[in-house]
Every structure is written in C-alpha cells, then in structure tokens.
Chains A and B, each alone.
Chain A
Amino acid sequence: MSEATLPAIVVYDIAALLFQFLNSFGFIILATVGLAIIFGMMGVINLAHGEFILIGVYGTALTYHAGLPLPVAMGAGVVVTTVFGVVVERTIVRHFYDRLLDSMVATWGLALVISQLLLIVFGSSLDSIGTPLGNVSYGPFSSSIYRSVLLPAVALLVLAGLYVLFTRTEFGIKARATIEDPETARAMGIDTDRMYVATFAIGSALAGLTGALYAPALGSITPNRGSTFLVEAFVAVVVGGPSVILGTLSASGLLSVFNAGGSFFFGTFIGQMLLLLVAIVALRFLPDGITGYVDDWRQRRRAEE
C-alpha cells in the first residue's frame, strides 16, 4: 500500500491535530494557572502576570547562558519569580485586596515598568535556548516532543498538585478558609496575612515555572513577550470561571480545541481569532464561566430534589 492513500493522510492529519491540541492545551493551562490561583483565591487580577512569566523566562535564560545546566537554570527562574512576587505582594498588592479595579490598574502600571526595565537592562533580546528532546515525526508532520508531550503532562501534574495542596493539606484548608471569610479565619487563629502572601507566592511561583518551562520553547526572548501569555491566560480565566482547577482545565480544553483546529486548518492567526471569538460567545451565554454555570446547574438540581 502506498503512503499516499487516503486513510493514511487522514491518520496523519488526526495525529497532527492531536499534537497541535496538546501543544495548545499545555500552553493555555500553564499560562493561566498562576493568574487563576491569584484571581480565584484572592480576587485580585494581576495584570502583570505576563511579565511575571517573563521574569521566569529571563531568570532561566540568564542563568543558563551563565553556564548552569538547564534544569538548574529553570529552578533559578522559579525562585527569582517567587521572590519577586512576594516583594510585590508586600509592597503593592496588599493595598488592593478590596479594590478590584484599582488592583488591575496598579498591576498594569507594574507591567509597563517591568517590561520596559527588562528592555533597558537586558536590551532588545536575549539569545534563545534550544528546545530539548527533539521532535516526534510521523509521516509528513513533526512536532516538538517538549512542547506537545512534556509540557502538557507537566501542566496536568501542576493542576493535580494544586488540587492536592488545596484540598488535602492543612495549608490548603487554612488558605481556603481565609479566602472564604477572612474575619472568621482570623478569629480561629489563622494568620490571614501570611495566607495571602503564601497564595500570592504560589501564583508567582507558577508564573515563574511557566516562564522557566517556556524559556527553551519561545525562540527569541524579548521584553514584550509577556503579552504572548497574557491574552490566553485572561481568556481562559474568564471562560473558566471562579473554580480554579476545574475552570482552568475545562477552559483550556475547550479553547485549545478551537485554537488547534483553527491553527491546523487556517493558520495560527485564525486559531487565535477563533479562540477569542469562542471566549466572547461563551461570556455572552455563561457570564460566570463554565464552572459558574456548572455550580448553578448543580444548585438548581439540588433545589429540585
């Protein structure tokens, strides 16, 4: 049987589409998860999230180019971003816990400052880092193993880890109590201030991790790459709704189907447009996102019973 028979081409296409989907799925989850934690848990939109990720990228790239092995450099990227996040929380974000819109404006100011300072200090680009692990190829198409296999797997592991952290550990229970009702939590002896710092630190660490993981997959590393992550992350948070893990997972799944399909059939630009179109339509019908709708539906069913 020759390679050009119709079924073979269809199989190639399906495989290519699958890998494209995985690639997009991993990207959206990783770009979103830090933002979703900080928004879902603390009600603060961190508009500098893209720049936090960028700090992870820079931390990783700079230490890697200084001669450290890649995994160690990635660790350094995460640490740098986490420390930075804690500093930002203590100096800026803590003033905005009950001022949602102001928090967005303030962190936007921060985003401008960070990306411009990166430009001033490190110039218009850093040397790129080669993507490890090579490609998987199958017939006419090939895809980066790192981006299409490793990163989606890491993304799912991160979500699973967060699930365990927030539902099965004492820290998680205290953190959720703080978020649910800070007054009562304080009365029960929980140091709510520390919980806020810790939650913000986790969000920042996840941004740093995303940056570290994408440092070798971005190609050129420039100070304006923050917005690469920002749009997808925003859209996913909006579509996902208030529940962090389930929202991130379901929104990433839904959005990457459209993103991958659009990119595969019509090119990356259409893929991105389709993603935004889906988001706008979703918002029109599900103003609280997917998980908000699910919650609603559950409550209605309970009421009926």
Chain B
Amino acid sequence: MSGAVDSVVSILSGIRGRLEGPNTYGNSLVFWVAFVLAVFWLALYPLVTDPYTIIQTSRYFAVAFLALSLCFIWGYAGVLSFGQVAFFGVAAYTFGAIGINLSSAMGVTVAIVGAVVVGTLAAALLGYFMFYGGVRDTYVTIMTLVVALVLNTFMAQTAGSEWAIGKAQLGGFNGMTDIPSLTLGIGETAMVFERGALYYALLVSLVLVYLGLRVLLNSSFGMTMVAIREDEARTETFGYNVPFVKLVVFTIGGSLAALGGVFYASWGNYVDPSVFGIAFAALPVVWVSVGGRESLIGALGATLAIEQMRTALSSGIGPIGSEWALVIVGGLLLGVILFMPAGVVPTVDSLVKRLQERRSEQGQSAQPTEEAVE
C-alpha cells in the first residue's frame, strides 16, 4: 500500500519539479492547492451562474491566450510587442475564411489547424525580418503596433463584395459573420463546442497551455530567454544565437495569440477589424502590466479581472457607463507603470516574502526579489 502511495507522491513531485523553477511565481504547495481549488471553482462555475456570465467568461478565457502570449515574449524575453493582436486577428479571420468555405465538421477542424499555422507563420515572418534585421527594442514595439494598425486599415476597407475568400466575405467594418463554432470532427463524428462545452474546452486548453508554458520557462530554453532579457550582449558572447532564440520565442508567442484568435472567432461566430484596432491592441499590454509581466498567473488573473470589469461597465452595472471603461483601463495602466512597475503579483509576492523573512529570524533562504521598486 505505502509503496503505491510513495510512487504516486514521487510522480507528483517529479511533475512539480518540472513545473517549478526560478522563472515562475507560485513554487509552493500553498500555491498548487490554491491553483487546484481555483480550477475546480472555475469548473463548477457554470453550475452556479447564469448562461450570459458563462458566455462572457468564455470570452475572457479566449483573450487570456493573448495575455499569456504577451507575458511570454515580453516578460521573459524582453520583447515588447504592441501587436500581438495582429496574429490573434489574422488567425481569427483565417479560421473564419477556411471554416466558412469547408463547412463540414472536419473542415472546421482543418480551419483550426490552418488558422493557427497561418498566425504562427505570420509571426515567424515578421520576427525574421525584425530579429535578423537587427531591429532593436523600441523599433520592435513600433513595428508590431504599425503592423496591427495597417491590418486594421486594410480590413476596414474590405467592405466590397470583391473582397471575399471563396464564400467568406471579409465584410469591411461590418466584419466577417457566420463563422462556425469550434468543432472537432473526423469523418462523420463531430464534437461541436458551444456555450457550456466551449467554456470547458477553453478552460482545459488554458490550464494546459499555462502548465506547458511553466515547464518551458523553467527549462534551459526558458533560462536562455531570461538571460537575453537581462543582458542580450552578454548572452551573445556566451555563444547563444540571440536572434534565433528571439525568433523562436516570438513565433511561439504568435501561435499562442493565434490560438486565442481561433477561440475568439468561434466564440462570437464573428470577427471585425476592431481586433486590430489600437484600443484592443492596448488591452494585452494592460493585462500583462497590471498582473505582472514576469508572472503568467498574474497575467491570467488580471485578464479575468479587467475583462470582468469592462463587461460590468459596458452593461451599465455600476455608477458610470461603458465609455469610462477605456479611461479606467488606460488610467490603470498608467498608475501601475508609475507606482508598481513590476505589476501586482510580483509586488505582492515580494511583500509576502519580506514579511516571512521578518518573522523567521533565522533568515532562511527566501530569495530576495530583484524587483527594486525604484
């Protein structure tokens, strides 16, 4: 008996070992218990709330991939992209275009794969131009934003009927409509994810992607990413191929954003050019900055919280209307960058650690966080 328990424990601690490391927050048993409880709560959530809230929460999950993607490339490799929405939107449109044309269940499955591939390739292409061209930090940020804004202009002028991919009308400002729901199908069998099912599919994907990113970030590749973030020139001298690593990171980020875009398009059965617009492009930066750019879990939490607030404001709950939502979001971004440059989670984490240190006088090796608040 105890042998079986032991082996389960050793497997679990083996898994934990891969998930934990210096590059992620939440390396304690308390965290994992809280994490499991939170996922459990999210799994039960549809049972205790109304359908509208479930549908809204599914949207938060879809855009949370965008937050993870930006957190991954900005927080860990120091590449600030203002244009993650570009890959998100490209994938959303591609999913729509393929899905509408191949309207069978299997066709939609192909569309999922195709859209992620196209989004990933777009990121790889842009990344190649930037990182092998020696484009530096600020310029990367500007370029990515410009790419998103160009796509915004481009898609906005596709109103005419000549702008169509097969049966799929791009639709200009009005957007692309009748995008199929998320469907997995082989031959005759098909699973269509709508409402509750979509919610669970997104929740499962989000948890898996989150855990996968933790493993990646704590692997030697993750260490290289952080090294590049901390000192690019020195990492280069140690023999690492910095442009290549950045390209890989940017491409992974692009595919995560693309996945989010597929979910987003299938969630609303609709996509319009505003996914490339400046207001939407700003949101991932807000989520990641507020949550803490070096903490995936912070980015996720902030995404859920801020999007919930935006929904509440736009449906007229609370004393002020929807038009104030962007003011609050912008102000939040400004305030966090001014007063809490590391973001909420790292700041709270370092506070907790300081408290713990003060309590246990023996000065246990609680890692001093390097996030000096100026």
Residues of chain A touching chain B, judged by Cβ–Cβ distance below 8 Å, are 45, 92, 95, 99-102, 104-106, 108-113, 116-117, 119-120, 227, 230-231, 234-235, 237-238, 269, 272-273, 276, 279-280, 283-285, 287
Contacts and interface: CB of A to CB of B under 8 A. Distances in A.
Most buried by A among B137, B142, B157, B286: B142
Interface string B154-181: 1001000000000000000000000000
A109 B138 contact: no
Nearest to B341: A102
Interface of B: 80, 82, 129-130, 133-139, 141-143, 145-146, 149-150, 153-154, 157, 278-279, 282, 285-286, 289, 323-324, 326-327, 329-334, 337-338, 341
B346 to A, nearest CB: 14
Contacts of A280: 129, 143
Contact of B138 (A100, A111, A273): A100
A283 B327 contact: no
A25 B279 CA distance: 28
A113 B286 CA distance: 13
B80 A101 contact: yes
Given A45-B138, A108-B330, A230-B149, 15 more contacts: A45-B141, A101-B141, A102-B341, A104-B82, A109-B337, A112-B327, A116-B324, A227-B149, A230-B278, A235-B146, A238-B139, A238-B142, A272-B150, A283-B135, A284-B135
Contacts of B330: 108-113, 116
Contact of A279 (B146, B154, B341): B146
B333 A105 contact: yes
A104 B150 contact: no
A105 B285 contact: yes
A66 B345 CA distance: 49
Given A100-B138, A234-B142, A92 B334 contact: yes
B154 A109 contact: no
A116 B327 contact: yes
Main secondary structure of the interface of A (DSSP, over half): helix
10 contacts: A45-B142, A92-B334, A102-B337, A108-B330, A113-B326, A113-B327, A113-B334, A227-B278, A234-B146, A238-B142
A112 B338 contact: no
Contacts of A106: 333-334, 337-338
Nearest to A117: B327
A292 to B, nearest CB: 11
Contact of B133 (A104, A110, A117, A284): A284
Given A104-B138, A106-B334, A284 B129 contact: yes
A120 B327 CA distance: 10
A112 B130 CA distance: 27
B157 to A, nearest CB: 6
Nearest to B139: A238
Contacts of B285: 105, 108
Contacts of B137: 100-101
A100 B332 CA distance: 19
A116 B326 contact: yes
A105 B323 contact: no
B330 to A, nearest CB: 3
The 8 A-B residue pairs with the shortest CB-CB distance, nearest first, are A112-B330, A109-B333, A113-B330, A109-B334, A284-B133, A116-B326, A287-B134, A106-B337
Contacts of A119: 323
A108 B330 CA distance: 8
Contacts of A238: 139, 142-143
B68 to A, nearest CB: 18
